[in-house]
């Protein structure tokens, strides 16, 4: 009888110990910073102690010969930023050229659901079709920064164009000034919003969300001052490369491989 | 911000591609009214300067009224902007922490400088009147008139000469400032290279000329209306002279507006192909039919007839309010076509959206009516303090 009592007593102790241990471990997991979960550095050199972010010159390259219009980038972007419906930080356009040289472009829901069905109702047989992902051009001479009356839209020393929503007055002047229509007024904050090339991720050595999820590697990102980076190599090799609306003089840091003359 | 159309619309999708963020018209009714109001202010000031600086004596009856008229509208110039801003509580930041490269950031400074100048010019011009009212009133009005006379009842020849010098200086300074105020508003649009309708160096010029036109029309219309309603005689010589100036400015305004379109048509660059689809697309009715054919050509010929043919006074007095009201509408249509029209083209250059203003809401039609009615109420109140017409001045004791 006494033995049985001892046994129960021991089990109870063990039980309480286990509950306590579990609680402590669980709490620790909650309070430990997410950084403790080790994600390998995706942009070389960003986490070095001596890394100077202002010495970087980032570029984005979109290979439209590779894009399959799956919409993964749009999904990742929407998830990363909780982008309100009907507004777009990034989108994927579908271009169709028929054998009469007519150009048809569409982009239902910003390409968020992917182009799983062929476009119907076109008058002539299709000659060619391709997809063009769009996002902030991170211009070297950004019109939005030029016109913002309060400096809420600004350019960082490493070339990113960002919006400080605590300063934005919501005048929409930047939206009028952007030749690429990448900006919108957030219905939640009443301030201007746009793609940031995932600045918060890049500063931690991670690739922009859309680049990371692209299954065909159509979106590429890197430092042009790093001669080993893929973007450096692409921009210094004899590819067909262009930027959007070069006549605007904004000098975009977003480059397109295989850009077609039909693309605006 | 108003929704224009649902993106992905099946009909538009086939031939028309609009960038997904371009389906919204961000600058709506309030930004139509903003240049309209500042234009009326600048134009009304020019009328006053024609008398005070350029010595057009026939305009003397409306020279003081036009300044008070300008002030009434200037008081409300910021209202549409505040109604438009997503964060109006941060509006003063444009003034306190301006971005020097932004055209919009200059507004606070230009507006304040102009307001200070206009108020001072009114006070100096009205000083003899204010002193007279100060001497002949009691209680609170007496204190108010004393304040408005700078607590100085010296009306000696020497003092009046000094006043006159100051008035001339302020009126002279006011002309370039009125031009800057409105030319600058034109530049807010003209400096936007992304928009083919706006990006033209002619934009500040067209805005300035249309400002003069709307100001003169506003003065003619309200002068005749107020005099009729209050049963006072109308100075027909003054009206005839004003109509001549109106015609002159309107010729320049209308010709520049048409030259701008014609130049683009003649050069026929890609720029024009985008504009063509807009002007003959969603803007056809408000631009070609209303702005050009009805509210420009008809007043243009009416004004020409009134200025060139010696009509009887009652004919002039019949035509003048009609023609000035039509030109006021023309300028409002011009503002609409520039501000709204410019946003109906997508940056994709492949499609347009349509826009119907909402009735309620901060930027709705109702708010626009209130904003446009406010200067009239303010003008009425200002008229209680500053007598519009010389004949109403009390005899100086």
Out of A106, A169, A189, name the one closest to residue B93 (CB): A169
Shared-domain flag, residues A32 and A161: no
Instruction: Please check whether residue B269 touches A, CB under 8 A.
Output: no
pLDDT recorded at residue B2: 41
- Say which DSSP state A32 is in: S
Shared-domain flag, residues A179 and A78: yes
Interface test with A, best of B16, B25, B34, B86 (most A CBs within 10 A): B86
Looking at the structure of chain A, the number of domains it has is: 2
Tell me how close the Cα of A120 comes to any Cα of chain B, in angstroms: 9
State how far the Cα of B241 lies from the Cα of B245, in Å rounded to an integer: 6
What is chain B's mean pLDDT, rounded?
Answer: 92
What's the token pair of residue B114? 């102009």
- Give the list of residues 6+ apart from residue B132 with CB closer than 8 angstroms, or none: B393, B394, B395, B396, B397
What would the mean pLDDT of B256-285 be, rounded to a whole number? 93
What is chain A's mean pLDDT, rounded?
Answer: 91
CA A23 to chain centre: 37
Shared-domain flag, residues A76 and A195: yes
ipTM of the complex: 0.92
pLDDT band of residue A18 (cuts 50, 70, 90) is confident
Instruction: Please check whether residue B288 touches A, CB under 8 A.
Output: no
> Which chain A residue is nearest to residue B82, measuring alpha carbons?
A171
pLDDT band of residue B5 (cuts 50, 70, 90) is very low
What's the token pair of residue B237? 């010589």
State how far the Cα of A181 lies from the Cα of A21, in Å rounded to an integer: 54
Chain A and chain B share a number of CB contacts under 8 A equal to 135
Give yes or no for residue B12 having a pLDDT over 60. no
pLDDT recorded at residue A158: 87
- State the CATH number of the domain containing residue A138: 3.30.70.20
- Return the half-sphere exposure (C-beta side, CA atoms, 13 A cut-off) of residue A186: 19
Out of A149, A168, A179, name the one closest to residue B104 (CB): A149
Shared-domain flag, residues A90 and A207: yes
State how far the Cα of B302 lies from the Cα of B97, in Å rounded to an integer: 49
- Domains of chain B by start residue, with CATH: 2-392 (1.20.1630.10)
Give yes or no for residue B374 having a pLDDT over 90. yes
Out of A88, A143, A185, name the one closest to residue B1 (CB): A185
Shared-domain flag, residues A152 and A241: yes
Shared-domain flag, residues A132 and A9: no
Choice among A31-40, A251-260, B351-360 with the minimum mean pLDDT: A31-40
pLDDT recorded at residue A151: 97
pLDDT recorded at residue B397: 39
pLDDT recorded at residue B270: 86
pLDDT recorded at residue A53: 78
Out of B17, B194, B195, name the one closest to residue A106 (CB): B17
| Cβ contact B187:B103 at 8 Å | yes
State how far the Cα of B2 lies from the Cα of B21, in Å rounded to an integer: 12
Domain that includes residue A113, residue range = 41-264
Shared-domain flag, residues A22 and A117: no
> For residue A168, which residues of chain B lie inside 8 Å, CB to CB?
86-87, 90
State how far the Cα of A67 lies from the Cα of A200, in Å rounded to an integer: 25
> Which chain B residue is nearest to residue A166, measuring alpha carbons?
B90
What would the mean pLDDT of A4-27 be, rounded to a whole number? 72
> For residue B347, which residues of chain A lie inside 8 Å, CB to CB?
178-181, 264
pLDDT recorded at residue A23: 76
Tell me how close the Cα of A198 comes to any Cα of chain B, in angstroms: 19
Percentage of chain B with pLDDT > 90?
89
Shared-domain flag, residues A207 and A129: yes
What phi and psi values does residue A229 have, to the nearest 5 degrees?
Answer: -75, 150
Residue A197 backbone zone (phi > 0: left; psi -120 to 50: alpha; other: beta): left
Shared-domain flag, residues A122 and A229: yes
pLDDT recorded at residue A38: 79
> For residue A136, which residues of chain B lie inside 8 Å, CB to CB?
none
- Say which DSSP state A196 is in: -
| Cβ contact B211:B205 at 8 Å | no
Shared-domain flag, residues A11 and A96: no
> Which chain B residue is nearest to residue A191, measuring alpha carbons?
B86
> For residue B104, which residues of chain A lie inside 8 Å, CB to CB?
147, 149, 171, 173
Tell me how close the Cα of B106 comes to any Cα of chain A, in angstroms: 8
pLDDT recorded at residue A49: 78
- B70-129 residues touching A, CB cutoff 8 A: 84-88, 90-91, 93-94, 97-99, 101-105, 107
Instruction: Please check whether residue B14 touches A, CB under 8 A.
Output: yes
Secondary element (H or E) of residue A227: none
Give yes or no for residue B1 having a pLDDT over 60. no
State how far the Cα of B121 lies from the Cα of B322, in Å rounded to an integer: 31
Shared-domain flag, residues A256 and A177: yes
Shared-domain flag, residues A210 and A188: yes
Tell me how close the Cα of B253 comes to any Cα of chain A, in angstroms: 25
Percentage of chain B with pLDDT > 70?
94
CB contact under 8 A, A264 and B191: no
pLDDT band of residue A29 (cuts 50, 70, 90) is low
Q: Which residue in A43, A91, A73, A44 sits closest to A216, CA to CA? A: A73
pLDDT recorded at residue B228: 96
Alpha-helix runs per DSSP H in A90-136: none
Tell me how close the Cα of A67 comes to any Cα of chain B, in angstroms: 19
Give yes or no for residue B8 having a pLDDT over 50. no
CB contact under 8 A, B87 and A170: yes
């Amino acid at each position: 009888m006494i033995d049985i009592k001892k046994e129960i007593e021991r089990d109870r102790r063990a039980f309480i110990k286990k509950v306590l241990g579990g609680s402590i471990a669980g709490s620790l997991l909650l309070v430990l910073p997410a950084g403790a979960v080790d994600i390998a550095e995706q942009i070389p050199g960003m986490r070095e102690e001596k890394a100077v972010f202002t010495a970087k010159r980032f570029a984005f390259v979109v290979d439209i010969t590779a894009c399959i219009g799956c919409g993964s980038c749009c999904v990742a972007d929407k998830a990363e930023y909780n982008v309100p419906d009907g507004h777009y930080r990034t989108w994927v356009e579908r271009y169709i050229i028929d054998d009469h040289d007519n150009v048809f472009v569409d982009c239902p829901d910003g390409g968020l659901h992917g182009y799983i069905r062929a476009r119907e109702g076109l008058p002539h047989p299709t000659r060619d079709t391709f997809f063009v992902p769009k996002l902030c051009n991170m211009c070297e001479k950004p019109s939005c920064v030029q016109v913002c009356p309060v400096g809420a839209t600004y350019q960082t020393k490493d070339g990113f164009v960002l919006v400080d929503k605590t300063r934005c007055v919501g005048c929409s002047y930047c939206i009028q000034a952007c030749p690429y229509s990448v900006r919108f007024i957030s219905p939640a904050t009443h301030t201007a919003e746009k793609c940031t090339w995932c600045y918060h991720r890049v500063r931690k050595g991670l690739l922009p969300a859309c680049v990371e999820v692209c299954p065909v590697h159509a979106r590429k990102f890197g430092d042009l001052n790093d001669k080993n980076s893929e973007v450096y190599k692409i921009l210094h090799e004899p590819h067909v490369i262009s930027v959007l609306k070069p006549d605007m003089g904004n000098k975009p840091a977003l480059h397109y491989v295989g850009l077609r003359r039909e693309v605006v | 911000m108003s929704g224009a159309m649902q993106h992905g619309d099946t009909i538009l999708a086939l031939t028309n591609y609009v960038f997904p963020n371009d389906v919204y018209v961000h600058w709506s009714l309030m930004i139509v009214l903003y240049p309209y109001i500042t234009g009326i202010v600048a134009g009304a000031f020019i009328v006053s300067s024609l008398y005070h600086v350029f010595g057009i004596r026939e305009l003397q009856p409306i020279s003081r009224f036009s300044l008070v008229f300008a002030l009434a509208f200037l008081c409300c110039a910021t209202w549409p902007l505040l109604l438009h801003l997503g964060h109006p509580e941060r509006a003063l930041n444009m003034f306190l922490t301006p971005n020097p490269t932004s055209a919009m950031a200059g507004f606070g400074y230009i507006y304040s400088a102009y307001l200070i100048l206009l108020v001072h010019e009114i006070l100096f011009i009205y000083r003899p009147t204010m002193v007279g009212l100060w001497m002949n009133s009691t209680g609170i009005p007496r204190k108010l008139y004393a304040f408005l006379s700078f607590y100085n009842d010296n009306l000696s020849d020497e003092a009046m000469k000094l006043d006159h010098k100051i008035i001339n200086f302020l009126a002279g300074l006011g002309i370039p400032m009125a031009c800057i105020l409105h030319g600058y508003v034109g530049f807010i649009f003209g400096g936007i290279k992304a928009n083919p309708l706006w990006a033209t160096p002619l934009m500040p010029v067209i805005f300035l000329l249309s400002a003069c036109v709307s100001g003169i029309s506003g003065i003619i219309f309200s002068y005749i209306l107020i005099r009729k309603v209050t049963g006072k005689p109308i100075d027909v010589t003054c009206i005839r002279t004003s109509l001549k100036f109106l015609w002159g400015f309107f010729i320049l305004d209308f010709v520049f507006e048409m030259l701008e379109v014609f130049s683009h048509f003649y050069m026929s660059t890609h720029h024009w192909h985008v504009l063509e689809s807009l002007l003959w697309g969603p803007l056809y009715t408000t631009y070609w039919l209303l702005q050009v054919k009805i509210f420009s050509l008809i007043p243009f010929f009416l004004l020409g007839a009134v200025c060139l043919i010696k009509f009887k006074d009652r004919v002039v007095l019949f035509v003048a309010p009609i023609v000035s009201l039509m030109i006021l509408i023309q300028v409002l249509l011009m503002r609409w076509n520039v501000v709204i029209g410019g946003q109906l083209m997508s940056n994709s250059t492949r499609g347009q959206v349509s826009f119907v203003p909402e009735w309620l809401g901060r930027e709705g039609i109702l708010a626009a009516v209130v904003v446009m009615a406010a200067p009239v109420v303010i003008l009425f109140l200002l008229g209680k303090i500053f007598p519009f017409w010389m004949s109403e001045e009390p005899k100086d004791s």
